[in-house]
């Protein structure tokens, strides 16, 4: 058993958590930055390969108010205006600070290059290069961390519970995966920056760490969740053949530049059957493309792995290379020659608009508990604009770090290991043999979420999902393995199952009660937006 003491505890070391830790240290606080994975190498930030939306106005004149107007329009009336404004207004500052720290935003004639992305009214997205935006952002923040002695970094620590004393968050307890022991950390301020929930779905762009941990941790501690029904699906996620070392949403820039023919399993174009005109260009919107692919698969006309074909066979090698440069070589290493073969694509869960409810200081309802990044809900409403998520991670991370340090310096608490006793024993206790296999239930949950709580939902399917989730939750206590073994994957799976079931319940329940279709939430039994639903749902 190990107990540590700090001013600010940051849980999750993606873009939001790393920026938060740096800002808290800059504000004079002693910081612990903990992650269940390697510091700065787990989660979504390092996987993002493309765009960062920000009104720096270097490509064409721009102002944060234009970015804000586009963000609100995409959010279909549900954005939290104060959070959306914060994202857009402070975006330029963090992007310039990252520039000063050497991230290497792509430049032309001395100015930052900015690319156009759907939903933005002008070219607004900075990037590093086609493949390296997320890795460069992560590396830049990691290099700053290493040079900041006030920040203690702890990898391999799966945080399982936030600890409360007299209604305030006073730290957390976690499982040290390599050692198998409980670690408790007391902190005057705790920041949850654990990213999104897309691992809940069978088809996703996630890493194994994106099961919505922060949502479950914060809800259990008394914070509120908002907009949980809004999960963004990306229509042409890579499905087959196997692709190593590339972002599964990589086909998007190809389609902006080259078009691309979307074909069903019979090699016929099909999106026109669903009310869109594609003309071989793949200009169809994300929601309609998702709908058309799902319906073709349901009708038995899917590609061999259950999606659609995306073909660039009409393009010459020179055109492909001019559009995608080094990506063509990475594809070749995966044995893919786009001039000779189509690839299979399918809708994949990609980002979560909902999350923990916070104010513009990133404070939650629970004193001492802050949130940052994708863990925060509300800024993007019912639908997120391309490129807004990394800006959100950095801006909200910086803000959370500042607020958390300010609080910690005022409320410097002395360590009180007693407050952690109950949480520590909950982590350690277990029923032992005979054991069931939580990994199998995780797979079942992912399939259930894909089928019943996926891009298209019905009241009946959502009810069925909730019933099954409830029965799986009821069986959880009897399955808990005791802690104590190093690298106990069964125990980690159990914690993940517990988290993912709780988060799945929140998503399905919110989706069931929203009897309309809006942005990323599409109900087949309630098509179209209903003005009566111009409001957010909050889970407490
Ligand atoms: C493949 C892919 C491509 C993307 N491309 C883009 C893009 O081009 N532009 C854009 O704007 N956005 C993009 N996004 C979205 C964007 O990357 C994310 O929204 C953003 O990076 C989230 O940052 P974060 O710091 O909030 O979370 P993350 O970067 O996901 O970090 C969360 C961290 O929390 C840790 N963690 C989780 N649970 C626990 C726990 N219980 N205990 C301890 N640690 C925990 C994880 O290990 C992880 O390191 C993409 C996402 C993906 C998956």
Residue 160: the pLDDT is 97
| Ligand 1 and 172: CB distance under 6 A | no
Among 12-26, 157-171, 375-389, 411-425, whose mean pLDDT is lowest? 411-425
* Cα of 432 from ligand 1 centre, angstroms: 34
Does residue 367 surpass a pLDDT of 90? yes
Q: Which residues contact 100 (CB under 8 A, 6 or more apart)?
A: none
Looking at 311, 328, 348, the residue that finishes a domain is: 348
| Ligand 1 and 51: CB distance under 6 A | yes
Neighbour-count burial of 318, counting CB atoms closer than 10 A to its CB (0-12 exposed, 13-18 middle, 19+ buried): exposed
| Ligand 1 and 119: CB distance under 6 A | no
My answer on whether 224 and 251 are in the same domain is: no
Residue 266: the pLDDT is 95
My answer on whether 200 and 246 are in the same domain is: no
pLDDT category at 527 given cuts 50, 70, 90 is: very high
Residue 135: the pLDDT is 94
Q: Which residue has the higher pLDDT, 419 or 105?
A: 105
My answer on whether 367 and 342 are in the same domain is: no
| Ligand 1 and 36: CB distance under 6 A | yes
The arithmetic mean of pLDDT across residues 220-247, rounded, is 93
Give whole-number Cα distances, 261 to 140, 271, 310, 336, in Å.
Answer: 38, 10, 6, 17
How is residue 481 annotated by DSSP? Answer: P
Does residue 218 surpass a pLDDT of 70? yes
Looking at 423, 442, 464, the residue that finishes a domain is: 423
Q: Which residue has the higher pLDDT, 40 or 246?
A: 40
Give tens-digit pLDDT for 329-338.
Answer: 889 999 999 9
Does residue 433 surpass a pLDDT of 80? no
Residue 418: the pLDDT is 79
My answer on whether 419 and 448 are in the same domain is: no
Q: Which residues contact 389 (CB under 8 A, 6 or more apart)?
A: 44, 48, 351, 374
Q: Which residues contact 471 (CB under 8 A, 6 or more apart)?
A: none
CATH of residue 302's domain is: 3.90.700.10
Q: Whose CA is nearest to atom 12 of ligand 1?
A: 389
Residue 20: the pLDDT is 98
My answer on whether 42 and 176 are in the same domain is: yes
| Ligand 1 and 492: CB distance under 6 A | no
Residue 379: the pLDDT is 98
Residue 435: the pLDDT is 66
State how far the Cα of 297 lies from the Cα of 176, in Å rounded to an integer.
43
Q: Which tokens in the block code for residue 22? A: 């740096």
Q: Which of 67, 88, 124, 194 has most ligand 1 atoms within 8 Å of CB, for mutation?
A: 194
pLDDT category at 213 given cuts 50, 70, 90 is: very high
| Host domain of residue 532 | 429-539
Give tens-digit pLDDT for 272-293.
Answer: 888 777 666 666 777 788 889 9
| Ligand 1 and 11: CB distance under 6 A | yes
My answer on whether 273 and 326 are in the same domain is: yes
Does residue 233 surpass a pLDDT of 80? yes
Domain count, the chain: 3
State how far the Cα of 185 lies from the Cα of 191, in Å rounded to an integer.
13
Average pLDDT over the chain, rounded to whole?
Answer: 93
My answer on whether 404 and 441 are in the same domain is: no
CATH of residue 521's domain is: 1.20.58.100
* Cα of 512 from ligand 1 centre, angstroms: 27
Q: Which of 163, 200, 209 has most ligand 1 atoms within 8 Å of CB, for mutation?
A: 209
Residue 246: the pLDDT is 80
My answer on whether 144 and 94 are in the same domain is: yes
Does residue 434 surpass a pLDDT of 70? no
Query: Phi/psi of residue 442, each to 5°?
Result: -60, -45
| Ligand 1 and 43: CB distance under 6 A | yes
Does residue 477 surpass a pLDDT of 70? yes
My answer on whether 321 and 391 are in the same domain is: no
Q: Which of 45, 88, 502 has most ligand 1 atoms within 8 Å of CB, for mutation?
A: 45
How much is the pTM?
0.95
Residue written as tokens 């765009």?
51
My answer on whether 151 and 47 are in the same domain is: yes
pLDDT category at 132 given cuts 50, 70, 90 is: confident
My answer on whether 365 and 450 are in the same domain is: no
| Ligand 1 and 387: CB distance under 6 A | yes
pLDDT category at 406 given cuts 50, 70, 90 is: very high
Looking at 401, 423, 445, the residue that finishes a domain is: 423
| Ligand 1 and 311: CB distance under 6 A | no
| Ligand 1 and 17: CB distance under 6 A | yes
Q: Which residue has the higher pLDDT, 132 or 469?
A: 469
Q: Which of 32, 42, 44, 114 has most ligand 1 atoms within 8 Å of CB, for mutation?
A: 44
My answer on whether 21 and 91 are in the same domain is: yes
pLDDT category at 349 given cuts 50, 70, 90 is: very high
Does residue 415 surpass a pLDDT of 70? no
Residue 514: the pLDDT is 98
| Ligand 1 and 138: CB distance under 6 A | no
| Ligand 1 and 42: CB distance under 6 A | yes
Does residue 414 surpass a pLDDT of 70? no
């Amino acid at each position: 058993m190990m107990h540590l003491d700090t001013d600010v505890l940051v849980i999750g070391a993606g873009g939001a958590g790393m920026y938060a830790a740096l800002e808290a240290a800059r504000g004079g606080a002693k910081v612990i930055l903990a992650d269940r994975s390697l510091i700065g190498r787990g989660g979504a930030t390092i996987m993002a390969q493309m765009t960062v939306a920000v009104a720096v106005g270097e490509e064409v004149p721009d102002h944060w108010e234009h970015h804000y107007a586009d963000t609100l329009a995409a959010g279909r009336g549900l954005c939290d205006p104060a959070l959306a404004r914060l994202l857009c207004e402070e975006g330029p500052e963090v992007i310039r600070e990252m520039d000063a720290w050497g991230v290497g935003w792509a430049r032309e004639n001395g100015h930052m290059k900015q690319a156009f992305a759907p939903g933005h009214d002008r070219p607004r997205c900075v990037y590093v290069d086609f493949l390296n935006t997320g890795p460069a952002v992560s590396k830049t923040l990691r290099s700053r961390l290493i040079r900041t002695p006030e920040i203690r970094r702890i990898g391999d620590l799966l945080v399982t519970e936030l600890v409360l004393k007299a209604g305030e968050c006073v730290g957390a307890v976690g499982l040290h995966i390599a050692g198998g022991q409980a670690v408790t950390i007391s902190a005057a301020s705790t920041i949850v920056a654990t990213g999104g929930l897309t691992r809940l779905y069978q088809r996703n762009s996630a890493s194994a760490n994106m099961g919505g941990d922060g949502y479950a941790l914060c809800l259990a501690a008394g914070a509120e969740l908002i907009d949980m029904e809004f999960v963004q699906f990306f229509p042409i996620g890579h499905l087959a053949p196997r692709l190593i070392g590339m972002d599964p949403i990589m086909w998007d820039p190809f389609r902006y530049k080259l078009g691309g023919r979307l074909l069903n399993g019979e090699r016929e174009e099909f999106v026109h059957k669903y009310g869109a005109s594609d003309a071989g260009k793949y200009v169809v919107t994300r929601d309609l493309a998702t709908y058309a692919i799902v319906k073709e698969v349901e009708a038995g006309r899917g590609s061999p792995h259950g999606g659609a074909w995306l073909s660039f066979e009409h393009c010459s090698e020179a055109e492909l290379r001019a559009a995608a440069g080094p990506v063509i070589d990475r594809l070749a290493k995966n044995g893919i020659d786009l001039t000779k073969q189509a690839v299979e694509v399918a809708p994949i869960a990609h980002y979560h608009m909902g999350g923990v409810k916070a104010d513009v200081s990133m404070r939650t309802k629970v004193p001492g508990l802050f949130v940052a990044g994708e863990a925060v809900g509300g800024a993007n409403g019912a639908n997120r604009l391309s490129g807004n998520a990394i800006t959100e991670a950095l801006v909200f991370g910086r803000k959370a770090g500042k607020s958390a340090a300010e609080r910690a310096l005022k409320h410097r608490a002395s360590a009180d290991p007693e407050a952690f006793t109950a949480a520590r024993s909950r982590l350690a206790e277990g029923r032992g043999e005979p054991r069931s296999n939580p990994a199998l239930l995780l797979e079942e949950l992912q399939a259930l979420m894909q089928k019943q709580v996926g891009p298209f939902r019905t009241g009946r399917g959502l009810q069925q999902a909730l019933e099954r989730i409830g029965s799986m939750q009821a069986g959880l206590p009897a399955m808990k393995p005791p802690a104590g073994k190093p690298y106990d994957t069964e125990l980690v799976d159990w914690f993940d199952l517990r988290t993912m079931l709780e988060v799945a319940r929140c998503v399905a329940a919110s989706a069931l009660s929203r009897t309309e279709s809006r942005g990323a939430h599409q109900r087949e039994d309630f098509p179209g937006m209903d003005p009566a639903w111009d409001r957010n749902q909050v889970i407490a």
